[in-house]
């Protein structure tokens, strides 16, 4: 069995990747993907912890939570993509740095 | 299932589209508006017995899945929850009444009211939540609906741009929070607040520290604490004014609620010593908000920045973490919700009448719309902390609590002084908008405006009267806030209901 | 504690407060005159209610009316207090406000939104009376700011010149002062856990002297801004000069005096030992203020601005009297509050009458009005001489006490300077009177007439009072002097 | 004898004051009635003042102090002090005042604003009576200021005339300078002794309660009040300008009331301060320097009233000098001179008024030869001039002789020289005045072409005063007894010689120039004396200097401070603060870039910052 630390490290790396994406990438779709990555980091964490809660047993609580989270994540992505679509209609681009009429 | 107030909201939210279709078919235009208002009213009515019950029993436990499942999926309702939830429903009700006329010229009313009802039910759920599982679900309900509501007028560029920024930042925040929850789950093995309190206060580890930081960021983004606030000045002005009133008035308060609940219950100040860090965030927030608000020429954007300032005051109360500080904090939650909702509703009335949010073009509009102008003055002065209006009552309590705690933690003298200076500074722009709106000679663009319609006036005047009433006779309202603060601090009674 | 012991004082504040919206909403029906008469009527009743405690106060009693708990968390009760200190000043405030309301009826003829004006006037008065009657610090602060808001609107809405900027300045200045005051009040509570004015003196002794001084200074800064002590006086000339004249009457006549009242009520009463330490410094500041105000008044050509600077100068006298910390000086300072209130109110009314009749504010463009407006001329002369401290007018009766108090406290040089400053006062007033009333009347003013009688009546009453307070000084001093004595009894020089 | 004469000390001032308040009311009925009402009131007041004489004689030089409480809280009382001095001054003020009121009926008949005139005249007389009857410093000061206030209003009676309005202000402000000193002195004394009362103060001083330095300072400060009111050096400048008022006012101010107040105050405080050597020195030198200085100024003035004004100051200087001698004889001399001067100066002013009434000008160069047209005025003027210059047996001779004697007795030689020169000048200018007005040829100027004698209502007071001036000098001994002094009076050779010598020396040049015409007045205005002439006619440049400082530079300085400091610095600071806030806000705004990537970065920075912060605080 893979020790839990590997999972945790992966989760943290995933989180970092997601945040990096959000801070550096200009494409709206990439940003939405980054949000998915962030959620996945948390989900991975949850799943791995629930599997390691007791040796040989799996805590159902984590799974319940992750299923819920995935559902909600899907909703968020749906809404996000809709908005991105409209943004593309208004701005003609997917570059998020062009969305800066609102500032100061 | 979810207790009656939430149930009713959800039921009405689900039925609204149907009623809308019915209304369109039967060409009774106002049917859906009335339906939504009825939903809020019923929810408010059903809220009252709950309030009575909680005020006698202090803490109430309710498993909303119907079975006890390891302290998960439950509501744990104490006075703090009641205080916040009552506020949410009340402002929601007024917003709904206001919307009946304000959203007249929009389409998709069924969608609009369903989202509004759902958003309030989400907020009430957050306030009631007794574990992270519940909290996360309702949190996301609230977030999702608010994303859509901000981008409701999708045919314009502004709500879309603001909506996208809001969505990205807010979901990044939610994801961060989720990450923190997963770590906490690893440490504690449960998602229930009571178990977490027990485990976290017993041992302070780097992991729990990390999760503290992550969770502060998660709630901080929602509450628009500097430096996590940058979505707010875009999203709040872009939304329809009724939604701005909701967002600025109460939605950001869920973030505050989350912070208060988590910080006081889970990461107890005795173990985690986060006072100074939170106080620094508070001072940062108030300074940023007030500085940025000073020169705004867009009325709603100015109000949005001022919300950040007020969140700073509220967080400052949390950083004190005494009963006085929390009372002030919660009382300010109430007062700011009223004042800011009022101002956004007023600015909506102006927007509807004159078609602009630009201060220069709104000059003198208060002279034409006398009642709206008057309520606008009341709201501005209330938020400026000018007695005898409500904003003063809570601001003085916050400073007072800061000074009291200063005797043992000397830094708080400085923070209190900074807060006082900030309040003073903020008076500058409140006065400016009052002057522009009510004292200037009416400009051309407002020469033919008429007074706002009655339902809108009803909401505004009611809030204005409340602002004055609380200012003059704060006693009962302070008591409510004080009870809420007491229940936050009586952690043990909260915990012992779960862990016998 | 929670027993209700009468309603006079509460009603005297509530009546104007309730009447304000009635005035506002009934405005279109009543019309300007109806509104004015209504406001006057309300203020007459309110003054009458305040006068009800005359007997008990003059026999040295403290009349406390409490109405029960206000905010339980801070053990705050709503209660009002009438004693030798607050009684005369509250009467002064509502009396002058009453006259200002009468005066406004004719003066506001050419203005817009008169119904709002009278509503604000009533609120303003209620705030000022409340400040004086308040028996706990939070109530005090509440009214302190409550008088700011309507007066701000009165200045910014009906003012002349650049009313919005001036109103803004007025608001920010006073509010900054108030913030400092609030800090002081809250620190007091943080250490004593009470806001009660009567209970505080005993508790304050437990605070360390350093903190005590900080509290005292913070509070005094707030009062000094309201009083317009140099160098925080710059809001006053703008605000008082540009406000509509009846409001200038109230601002200069009574509003700034609430600062003086508060200095006696708090800075000295609550912190006797600290006030001894700062008294010399504040006396110096007071003398600078009186000289500075006088010099600036000498440089003015705008009649209302001149009067405004004269107010700056006069609050210097009041502060000087109070800071002598002996019964003569404090009594004199309190008496000067009354005398200056009456005389400066009168002078602003005269200036208003001149502006009303001629439409000119520049004293260089006026002249020879003595024959056209004889009553105004006499009233101006009486008011001016009273403020300049010339017997037999009231101003002298209080000023000599102030000076004597100064000598008695050992500040011989400062007191001499203060007396010398009366020369400046005389100079600028005589200059003003000469330019306005004497000399040749310009052609354009040849058909100027006296102001309408509803404006002359309040002026006549105040003129009468300037003389009465001079000759029968014992009557007001009968109440005011014991107040000064009571305060100074607390002072232990060491 | 008189109803309520036991209340006379109160009534002498209350009646005129009450009467003055009634004047505007009576004026509503009838203007003629108003005039006579005022006159009758003043005469009633005078009658009451005379009725006090028996009371004083009963006291045998003692003092009666009657009080009623005024401000009981501070222990202040209103009181009247009845002694020979106060009653004497009150008689002078009210009797001469009432004669002047009578004279006014004719003199002022055709003026506007007579209600104001009579109001202030009566108020003035009442104020002066109140001043002299007051038993304490505060009350004295109150009336002192009331008198000043009345003088302001009366000097500026013709307020439409720029010069009159200015003169009124000048009088008020210059005397106010003295008042300031007086008030300082009085309050210091009050604080030190605990009482304003003259008698209590005297007791306290005698008991040695006061430190010498304090006593000295306050005594000099109190004398400062007298300097202002009696127009002594260096505050003499207001009095000549005060001639802008109607002549009756000048007569009232100069002869009977206001300027005597200073002398009265000095005489009143004489018994309190006479032990202080420095005080006496200041008094005597200020008096004698003023006397000589203004006498020389009178030599060159060409205005009929200004000559008299300078003369008044000079005579006041003599009275002050006499007080400064410090002996009882000097005190008596000064009081006696007060009486003499009141009579002859009132006479001279009223004569001058009569002349002006006739010729319509005040410039003496436009007069001349009036003796034929106005015989009564001429005759009475001659009496006045003789009295003023000190020709025996007119009253001026007697009183001046006493002053010289007193100074000589104390061997104060420098003041003696000064007053000798003063007498010399007095003789010279008074005869010059007489010559210019009544002798010589009448110039053919338009206005005064047909002078005529004044009506009876004006000449009767002249005659009464002339008669009094002639005979009053012989009442030296009764007067001395009345004042309760013990010292014997009589003519001594040395002072007599000096007086007569001075008279002669003064008369000769005056005679040569103006009567016989053997010397031309041009002689004094040309050549070596030109600069002196100019110096004198400019009043030693005092006015110029004062004007330059207080009327030109000072207001300009104020305006400069207002513009530069008040507006540029102090007020600017407010706007600078507001501007700084705006600048701060403006420069902070670019941090909100609107760029989503940056926003997320800020969240990350916040996360890291918060984490580090709590770690540091917890101490890991």
Only one residue has tokens 């990439």, namely A30
Tokens representing residue B176 in the block: 């961060």
Please tell me if residue D552 touches chain C, with a CB cutoff of 8 Å: no
Touching check for B175 and chain A: CB below 8 Å? yes
Residue A19 lies in a domain: yes
Contacts of B432 (CB under 8 A, 6+ apart): B294, C168
- Helix/strand/coil for D68: strand
So what's the pLDDT on residue D2? 65
- Of all residues in chain D, the percent with pLDDT exceeding 70 is 96
- Rounded to whole angstroms, the Cα distance separating B197 from C59 reads 64
Sign of CA dihedral C375, C378, C381, C386: negative
What pLDDT is attached to residue B173? 94
Spell D528-565 as b/e; 16+ CB within 10 A means b: eeeeeeeebeebbebbeebeeebeeeebeebbebbeee
**Over the stretch D558-602, which tens digit does the pLDDT of each residue have?**
888 888 888 888 888 888 888 898 899 889 888 888 888 899 999
Q: How many residues does chain A have?
A: 104
Contact: chain C with chain D (3+ CB pairs below 8 Å): yes
Number of inter-chain CB pairs under 8 A, A vs D: 33
Interchain proximity B179–A91, CB inside 8 Å: no
- Mean pLDDT confidence for C201-214: 83
Q: Are C231 and C259 in contact (CB under 8 A)?
A: no
Report pLDDT for B278. Answer: 93
Q: List the one residue out of B32, B17, B13 whose CA is nearest residue B120.
A: B13
The reply to whether A25 falls in a domain is yes
- Cross-chain residue pair C179–B386, CB shorter than 8 Å: no
* Across C115-130, average pLDDT: 90
- Cβ contacts of D609 within 8 Å, gap of 6 or more: none
Q: What is the ipTM of this complex?
A: 0.88
* DSSP codes, C95-106: HHHHHHHHHHHH
Q: What is the pLDDT of residues A22-73, one digit of tens each?
A: 999 999 999 999 999 999 999 999 999 888 877 777 888 888 899 999 999 9
Q: Go through D472-509 and write b for each residue having 16 or more CB atoms within 10 A of its CB, e for each that does not.
A: bbebbeebbbbbbbeeebeeeeebeebbbebbebbbeb
Q: Given D589, D595, D604, which is nearest A97 (Cβ)?
A: D595
Q: Is residue A104 part of a domain?
A: no
Q: How far apart are CA D179 and CA D141, in angstroms?
A: 8
pLDDT higher for B7 or C2? B7
Question: For C296, which of D152, D190, D558 is closest by C-beta distance?
Answer: D558
Does A102 contact D596 at a Cβ distance shorter than 8 Å? no
Interface test with chain B among C186, C191, C194, C214, by most B beta carbons within 10 Å = C186
Closest chain D residue to the Cα of C369, Cα to Cα: D160
Q: Is the CB of residue D580 less than 8 Å away from at least one CB of chain B?
A: no
Cβ atoms of C239 and C97 within 8 Å: the answer is no
In a domain, residue A103? The reply is: no
CB contact under 8 A, D599 and B173: no
Chain B hits for D592, CB-CB cut-off 8 Å, are: 230, 233, 292
CB D247 within 8 A of CB D350: yes
Q: Which residues from chain B sit within 8 angstroms of residue C167, using beta carbons?
A: 435, 439
Closest CA to D193 of D207, D183, D204, D206: D204
In whole angstroms, what is the distance from residue B109 CA to residue C227 CA? 57
Q: Is B297 on the interface with A (CB under 8 A)?
A: no
**C-alpha dist (Å) from residue D180 to A55, C224, C424, D338:** 101, 28, 11, 25
Q: Which residues of C touch D177 (CB under 8 A)?
A: 423
Inspect the interface and report whether the beta carbons of A103 and D594 lie closer than 8 Å. yes
Nearest to B439 among C73, C164, C191 (CB): C164
Instruction: Report pLDDT digits (tens) over D390-449.
Output: 887 788 888 888 888 888 888 888 888 888 888 888 888 888 888 888 887 766 555 545
Crossing angle of helices D8-29 and D31-50, in 10° steps, is 170
- CATH code: domain of residue A31: 1.10.287.3510
The answer to whether C105 touches C37, Cβ cutoff 8 Å, is yes
Give chain A positions within 8 Å (CB) of D589. Answer: 104
pLDDT tops 90 at residue D69: no
Cβ–Cβ gap C430/D71 under 8 Å? no
Record the tokens describing residue B348, joined without a space: 């909506």
Tell me what pLDDT residue C2 has: 47
Q: Where does the pLDDT of residue C1 fall: very low under 50, low under 70, confident under 90, or very high at 90 and above? A: very low
What was the pLDDT predicted at D445?
A: 54
Pair D373, D451: CB distance under 8 Å? yes
Neighbours of B43 (CB within 10 A): 27
Model confidence at C494: pLDDT above 50: no
- Name the nearest CA neighbour of A11 among A50, A35, A38, A34: A38
Has residue D524 got a pLDDT over 80? no
* Whether B399 and C182 lie within 8 Å, measured CB to CB: yes
Residue contact C407–D554, C-beta within 8 A: no
User: What is the per-residue pLDDT for C126?
Assistant: 92
- pLDDT higher than threshold 70 for residue D82: yes
Q: How far apart are CA B250 and CA D402, in angstroms?
A: 100
- A with B: 3 or more CB pairs under 8 Å? yes
Partner-chain residue, chosen from A69, A79, A101, that has the shortest CB–CB distance to B178: A69
CB contact under 8 A, C172 and B416: no
Note down the domain range covering A11. 4-98
Contact B230 D586 (CB under 8 A): no
- Please choose, from the candidates C319, D5, B171, the residue with its C-alpha nearest in 3D space to the C-alpha of residue A31: B171
**Is residue D40 scored above 70 in pLDDT?**
yes
Q: Give D251-287 pLDDT, tens digit per residue.
A: 787 766 788 888 889 888 888 888 888 888 889 999 9
Interchain contact, D595 vs A103, CB within 8 Å: yes
Answer whether A24 sits within 8 Å of D593, measured CB to CB. Answer: no
pLDDT one digit per residue (tens) for chain B, 500 residues: 778 889 999 999 999 999 999 988 888 888 899 999 999 999 999 999 999 999 888 888 888 887 777 778 889 999 999 999 999 999 999 999 999 999 888 888 889 999 999 999 999 999 999 899 999 999 999 999 999 999 999 888 999 999 999 999 999 999 999 999 999 998 888 888 988 898 888 888 888 899 999 999 999 999 999 889 999 999 999 999 999 999 999 999 999 999 999 999 999 888 888 999 999 999 999 999 999 998 888 999 999 999 999 999 999 999 998 999 999 999 999 999 999 999 999 999 999 998 888 888 888 888 888 889 999 999 999 999 888 889 998 998 999 999 999 888 889 999 999 999 999 999 989 999 999 888 888 888 888 888 889 999 999 999 999 999 999 888 889 999 999 999 999 888 888 888 87
> How does residue D489 score in pLDDT terms, banded at 50, 70 and 90?
low
Total domains present in chain A: 1
Q: Where does residue C449 rank: exposed (0-12), middle (13-18), buried (19+ CB within 10 A)? A: exposed
A interface with B, Cβ–Cβ below 8 Å: 8, 11, 15, 18-19, 22, 28, 31-32, 34-35, 38-39, 41-43, 45-46, 49-50, 53, 59, 61-62, 64-65, 68-69, 72, 75-76, 79-80, 83-84, 86-87, 90-91, 96, 99, 101-102, 104
Three-state secondary-structure class, residue C79: strand
8 Å CB contact between C245 and C349: yes
Residue among A26, A34, A87, A97 with most chain D CBs within 10 A, to mutate:
A97
CA B97/CA B106 separation, integer angstroms: 15
Q: What is the pLDDT of chain C when averaged over all its residues?
A: 88
Closest CA to C71 of C137, C128, C14: C137
Distance from CA of D610 to the nearest CA of A (A): 17
Residues C397 and C473 sit within 8 Å (Cβ to Cβ): yes
Spell out which residues of chain A touch residue B151, defining contact as CB-CB under 8 Å: 83, 86
Domain boundaries, chain D: 277-537, 545-618
Label residue A77 by pLDDT band (50, 70, 90).
very high
CA gap C384, D169 in Å, rounded: 13
- In this complex, how many residue pairs, one in chain A and one in chain B, have their CB atoms less than 8 Å apart? 122
Across all residues in chain D, what is the average pLDDT?
84
Nearest to B179 among A22, A45, A50 (CB): A45
Contact B374, B337 (CB under 8 A): no
Percent of chain B exceeding pLDDT 90 equals: 63
> SS3 of D42, please?
helix
3 state SS of A13: helix
d(CA C102, CA C36): 7
pLDDT band at C339 (very low <50, low <70, confident <90, very high): very high
Please check whether residue A40 lies inside any domain of the structure. yes
């Amino acid at each position: 069995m893979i020790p839990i630390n590997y999972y945790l490290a992966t989760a943290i790396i995933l989180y970092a990747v997601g945040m990096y994406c959000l801070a550096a990438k200009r494409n709206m779709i990439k940003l939405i993907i980054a949000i998915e990555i962030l959620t996945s980091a948390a989900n991975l964490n949850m799943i791995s912890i629930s599997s390691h809660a007791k040796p040989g047993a799996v805590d159902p609580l984590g799974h319940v939570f992750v299923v819920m989270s995935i559902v909600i994540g899907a909703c968020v992505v749906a809404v996000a993509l809709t908005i991105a679509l409209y943004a593309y209609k208004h701005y003609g681009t997917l570059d998020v740095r062009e969305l800066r009429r609102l500032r100061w | 299932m979810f207790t009656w107030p939430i149930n009713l909201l959800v039921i009405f939210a689900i039925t609204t589209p149907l009623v809308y279709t019915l209304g369109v078919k039967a060409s009774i235009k106002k049917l859906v508006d009335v339906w939504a208002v009825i939903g809020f009213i019923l929810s408010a009515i059903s809220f009252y017995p709950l309030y009575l019950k909680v005020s006698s029993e202090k803490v109430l436990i309710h498993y909303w899945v119907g079975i006890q499942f390891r302290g998960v999926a439950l509501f744990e309702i104490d006075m703090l929850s009641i205080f916040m939830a009552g506020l949410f429903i009340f402002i929601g009700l007024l917003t709904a009444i206001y919307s009946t006329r304000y959203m007249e010229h929009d389409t998709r009313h069924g969608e609009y009211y369903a989202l509004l009802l759902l958003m309030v039910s989400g907020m009430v759920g957050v306030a009631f939540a007794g574990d992270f599982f519940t909290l996360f679900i309702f949190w996301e309900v609230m977030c999702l609906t608010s994303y859509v509501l901000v981008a409701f007028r999708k045919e314009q560029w502004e709500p879309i741009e603001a909506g996208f920024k809001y969505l990205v930042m807010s979901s990044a925040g939610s994801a961060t929070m989720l990450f923190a929850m997963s770590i906490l789950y690893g440490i504690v093995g449960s998602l229930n607040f009571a178990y977490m309190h027990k485990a976290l206060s017993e041992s302070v580890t780097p992991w729990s520290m990390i999760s503290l930081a992550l969770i502060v960021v998660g709630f901080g983004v929602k509450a628009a604490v500097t430096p996590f606030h940058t979505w707010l000045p875009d999203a709040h002005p872009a939304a329809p004014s009724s939604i701005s009133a909701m967002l600025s008035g109460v939605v950001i308060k869920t973030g505050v609620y989350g912070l208060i609940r988590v910080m006081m219950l889970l990461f107890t100040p005795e173990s985690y010593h986060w006072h100074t860090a939170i106080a620094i965030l508070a001072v940062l927030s108030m300074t940023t908000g007030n500085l940025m608000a000073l020169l705004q020429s867009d009325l709603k954007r100015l109000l949005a920045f001022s919300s950040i300032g007020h969140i700073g005051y509220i967080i400052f109360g949390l950083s004190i973490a005494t009963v006085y500080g929390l009372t002030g904090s919660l009382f300010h939650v109430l007062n700011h919700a009223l004042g800011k909702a009022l101002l956004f509703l007023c600015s909506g009335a102006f927007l509807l009448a004159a078609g602009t949010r630009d201060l220069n073009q709104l000059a003198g509009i208060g002279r034409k719309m006398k009642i709206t102008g008057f309520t606008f003055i009341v709201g501005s002065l209330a938020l400026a902390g000018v007695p005898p209006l409500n904003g003063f009552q809570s601001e003085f309590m916050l400073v007072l609590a800061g000074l009291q705690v200063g005797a043992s933690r000397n830094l708080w003298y400085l923070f209190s002084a900074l807060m006082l200076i900030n309040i003073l500074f903020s008076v500058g722009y409140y006065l400016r908008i009052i002057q522009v709106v009510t004292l200037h000679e009416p400009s051309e663009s407002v020469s033919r405006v008429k007074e706002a319609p009655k339902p809108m006036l009803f909401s505004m005047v009611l809030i204005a009267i409340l602002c004055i009433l609380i200012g003059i006779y704060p006693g009962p309202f302070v008591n409510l806030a004080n009870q809420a603060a007491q229940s936050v601090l009586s952690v043990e009674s909260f915990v012992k209901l779960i862990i016998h | 504690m929670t027993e209700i012991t009468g309603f006079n004082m509460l009603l005297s504040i509530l009546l104007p407060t309730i009447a304000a919206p009635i005035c506002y909403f009934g405005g279109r029906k009543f019309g300007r005159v109806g509104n004015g008469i209504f406001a006057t009527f309300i203020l007459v009743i309110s003054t009458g209610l305040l006068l009800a405690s005359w007997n008990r106060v003059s026999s040295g009693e403290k009349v406390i009316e409490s109405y029960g708990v206000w905010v339980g968390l801070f053990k705050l009760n709503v209660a009002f207090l009438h004693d030798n200190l607050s009684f005369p000043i509250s009467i002064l405030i509502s009396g002058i406000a009453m006259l200002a309301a009468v005066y406004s009826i004719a003066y506001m003829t050419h203005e817009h939104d008169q119904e709002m004006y009278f509503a604000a006037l009533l609120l303003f008065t209620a705030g000022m009376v409340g400040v004086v009657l308040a028996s706990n610090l939070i109530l005090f602060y509440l009214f302190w700011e409550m008088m700011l808001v309507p007066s701000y609107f009165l200045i910014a809405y009906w003012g002349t010149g650049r009313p919005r900027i001036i109103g803004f300045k007025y608001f920010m200045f006073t509010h900054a002062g108030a913030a400092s005051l609030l800090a002081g009040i809250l620190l007091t509570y943080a250490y004593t856990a009470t806001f009660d004015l009567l209970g505080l003196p005993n508790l304050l002794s437990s605070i360390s002297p350093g903190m005590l001084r900080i509290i005292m200074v913070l509070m005094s800064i707030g009062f000094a801004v309201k009083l317009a002590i140099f160098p925080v006086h710059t809001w006053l000339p703008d605000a008082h000069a540009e406000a509509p004249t009846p409001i200038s009457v109230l601002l200069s006549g009574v509003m700034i005096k609430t600062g003086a009242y508060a200095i006696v009520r708090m800075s000295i009463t609550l912190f006797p030992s600290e006030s001894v330490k700062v008294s010399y410094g504040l006396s110096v500041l007071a003398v600078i203020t009186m000289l500075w105000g006088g010099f600036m008044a000498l440089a003015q050509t705008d009649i209302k601005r001149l009067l405004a600077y004269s107010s700056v100068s006069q609050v210097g006298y009041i502060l000087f009297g109070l800071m002598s910390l002996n019964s003569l000086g404090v009594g004199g300072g309190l008496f000067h509050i009354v005398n200056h209130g009456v005389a400066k109110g009168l002078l602003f009314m005269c200036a208003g009458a001149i502006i009303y009749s001629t439409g000119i504010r520049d004293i260089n463009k006026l002249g020879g009005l003595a024959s056209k407006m004889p009553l105004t001329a006499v009233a101006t002369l009486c008011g001016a001489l009273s403020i300049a401290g010339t017997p037999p007018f009231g101003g002298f009766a209080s000023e000599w006490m102030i000076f004597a108090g100064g000598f008695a406290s050992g500040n011989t040089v400062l007191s001499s300077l203060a007396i010398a400053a009366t020369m400046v006062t005389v100079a600028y007033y005589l200059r003003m009177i000469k330019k306005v009333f004497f000399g040749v009347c310009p052609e354009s003013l040849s058909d100027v007439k006296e102001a309408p009688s509803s404006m002359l009546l309040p002026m006549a009453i105040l003129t009468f009072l300037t003389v009465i307070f001079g000759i029968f000084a014992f009557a007001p001093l009968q109440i005011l002097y014991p107040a000064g004595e009571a305060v100074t009894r607390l002072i232990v020089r060491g | 004898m008189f109803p309520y004469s036991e209340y006379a000390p109160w009534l002498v001032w209350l009646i005129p004051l009450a009467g003055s308040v009634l004047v505007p009311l009576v004026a509503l009925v009838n203007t003629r009635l108003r005039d006579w009402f005022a006159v009758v009131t003043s005469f009633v007041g005078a009658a009451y003042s005379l009725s006090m004489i028996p009371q004083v004689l009963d006291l045998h030089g003692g003092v009666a102090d009657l009080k009623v409480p005024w401000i009981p809280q501070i222990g202040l009382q209103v009181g009247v002090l009845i002694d020979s001095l106060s009653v004497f001054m009150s008689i002078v003020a009210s009797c001469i005042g009432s004669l002047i009121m009578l004279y006014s009926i004719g003199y002022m008949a055709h003026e506007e604003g007579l209600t104001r005139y009579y109001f202030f005249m009566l108020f003035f007389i009442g104020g002066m009576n109140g001043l002299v009857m007051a038993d304490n410093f505060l009350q004295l000061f109150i009336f002192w200021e009331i008198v000043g206030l009345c003088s302001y209003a009366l000097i500026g009676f013709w307020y439409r005339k720029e010069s009159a309005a200015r003169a009124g202000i000048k009088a008020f402000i210059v005397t106010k300078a003295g008042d300031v000193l007086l008030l300082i002195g009085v309050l210091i004394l009050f604080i030190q002794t605990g009482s304003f009362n003259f008698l209590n103060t005297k007791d306290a001083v005698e008991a040695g309660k006061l430190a010498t330095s304090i006593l000295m300072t306050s005594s000099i400060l109190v004398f400062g009040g007298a300097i202002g009111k009696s127009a002594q050096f260096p505050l003499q400048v207001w009095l000549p300008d005060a001639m802008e008022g109607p002549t009756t006012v000048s007569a009232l101010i100069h002869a009977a009331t206001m300027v005597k107040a200073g002398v009265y105050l000095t005489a009143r405080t004489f018994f309190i301060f006479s032990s202080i050597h420095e005080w006496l020195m200041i008094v005597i030198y200020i008096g004698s320097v003023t006397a000589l200085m203004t006498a020389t100024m009178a030599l060159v003035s060409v205005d009929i009233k200004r000559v008299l004004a300078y003369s008044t100051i000079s005579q006041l200087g003599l009275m002050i000098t006499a007080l400064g001698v410090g002996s009882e004889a000097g005190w008596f001399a000064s009081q006696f001179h007060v009486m003499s001067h009141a009579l002859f100066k009132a006479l001279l002013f009223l004569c001058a008024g009569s002349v002006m009434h006739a010729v319509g000008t005040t410039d003496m160069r436009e007069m001349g030869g009036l003796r034929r047209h106005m015989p009564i005025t001429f005759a009475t003027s001659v009496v006045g001039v003789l009295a003023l210059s000190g020709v025996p047996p007119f009253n001026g001779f007697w009183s001046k002789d006493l002053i010289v004697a007193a100074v000589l007795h104390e061997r104060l030689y420098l003041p003696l020289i000064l007053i000798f020169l003063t007498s010399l000048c007095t003789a010279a200018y008074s005869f010059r005045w007489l010559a210019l007005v009544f002798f010589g040829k009448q110039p053919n100027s338009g206005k005064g072409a047909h002078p005529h004698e004044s009506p009876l209502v004006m000449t009767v007071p002249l005659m009464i005063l002339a008669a009094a001036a002639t005979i009053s000098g012989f009442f030296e001994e009764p007067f001395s007894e009345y004042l309760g002094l013990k010292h014997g009076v009589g003519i001594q050779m040395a002072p007599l010689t000096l007086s007569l010598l001075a008279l002669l020396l003064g008369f000769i040049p005056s005679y040569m120039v103006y009567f016989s015409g053997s010397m031309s007045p041009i002689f004094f205005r040309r050549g070596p004396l030109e600069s002196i002439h100019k110096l004198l006619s400019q009043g030693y440049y005092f006015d110029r200097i004062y004007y330059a400082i207080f009327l030109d530079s000072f207001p300009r300085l104020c305006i400069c401070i207002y513009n530069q400091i008040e507006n540029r610095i102090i007020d600017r600071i407010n706007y600078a603060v507001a501007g700084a806030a705006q600048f701060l806000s403006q420069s902070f705004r670019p941090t909100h870039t609107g760029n989503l990537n940056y926003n997320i970065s800020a969240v990350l920075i916040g996360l890291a910052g918060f984490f580090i912060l709590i770690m540091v605080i917890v101490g890991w």
